[in-house]
Structures are given as structure tokens and as C-alpha cells.
Amino acid sequence: MLAIGWPSLQEMLARQQAQSYIRQFQQHLNFARIMAISSGRMVTFCPWHEGECLNQWWQIPIQIQINQQQKNTELQLLRLLDRPKDAHWLYYNREQIQFRQDGSLQALQNGTFIYCAKQYSWHYTLTLSQAGRSQSEFVPTPCPH
């Protein structure tokens, strides 16, 4: 009897982890946007490794950084978000997101994050508008990546 229920228990745990991560991720995006508005400075949100943003959202912790001064390229770390759990993947079409002083995104940085637990036939999406607002959704189909 336990063997029958075990796979569904594992999937339920994976789905809960995915949902929790997406919620945290969205909260961090909102924090970055609010910091850009309240400080009047550019805020960068990206997987940061050795001094640069990399398009490896599933492998590298995500950092929220703010420009020290308005026209300065020196960054200060505000927050850090761990990478997704092992066997979970997070995809995006850019290596970084930058929030402007009005809370909007830099040109062409809007898009959809896709969060997958590859072994299951569902995934989550988090769509980010050019205005800097986000919306998440559970999708009951296999991961498109």
C-alpha cells in the first residue's frame, strides 16, 4: 500500500516546493521593483556569479543589487534568493532583469519564467510585464523545455 502512495506523495512534495519557490521568487521581484521606485535608482535582479549576470537561473543563487549612486555602476547587494531545488529548473529568456526608477523594466526584459520539476507533467509560469508587474500560474502540462 505504501508503494502505491509513495510516488504521489513525492509529486505532492515537489509541487509544494515549486509553488513555494515561485511565491518567494515573485516576492523578491516585487521587492526589487519597490526598491527601484523608493530609492530612485536602478535595481538589478539576476543569477550573479563572479561579477556578472548569467542566464543560469536554475543553477546560481539570484541576487538583488542596487546601484550605489544614480549614475554609478558599482552595485550593492540587497537580497539573495537560493537557486531552485535539485531536479527543478527555472528558465528565462534573459540573463538579468533591471528595474528602472519608475518600476518598469529596461527595454525588452519582459517575458515569462518557466519553473519545472522535469519528472512531472506540470509546470509553473511567472509572467513579467514591461511595467514590472508579475503574475504566476500553475500549468497542468509537461515542461516545454
- Mean pLDDT in each 10-residue stretch from start to end of the chain (145 residues)? 66 95 98 97 96 95 87 82 93 96 95 94 97 96 91
pLDDT number for residue 82: 95
75: β partners: 67
User: CA-to-CA distance for 118 and 69, rounded, in angstroms?
Assistant: 42
Q: Contact 58/47 with Cβ under 8 angstroms? A: no
Decide if 138 is inside a domain: no
Decide if 24 is inside a domain: yes
pLDDT number for residue 145: 81
116: β partners: 89, 123
pLDDT number for residue 22: 97
Instruction: Return the amino acid letter for 24.
Output: Q
**Which ranges constitute the DSSP H helices of the chain?**
2-39
The residue segments making up the domain with residue 48 are 2-87+94-106
Decide if 120 is inside a domain: no
Phi and psi for 46 in degrees, rounded to 5?
A: -165, 165
Decide if 29 is inside a domain: yes
Report which of 46, 30, 45, 39 is spatially closest to residue 101, judged by C-alpha positions.
39
Phi and psi for 29 in degrees, rounded to 5?
A: -60, -45
Q: Contact 25/113 with Cβ under 8 angstroms? A: yes
Decide if 54 is inside a domain: yes
Take residue 142 and report the three cell numbers written for it.
509537461
pLDDT number for residue 132: 95
Decide if 12 is inside a domain: yes
10: domain CATH number is 3.55.40.10
Taking the alpha carbons of 46, 95, 57, 33 in that order, is the dihedral positive or negative? positive
pLDDT number for residue 5: 55
Give the number of domains in the chain.
Answer: 1
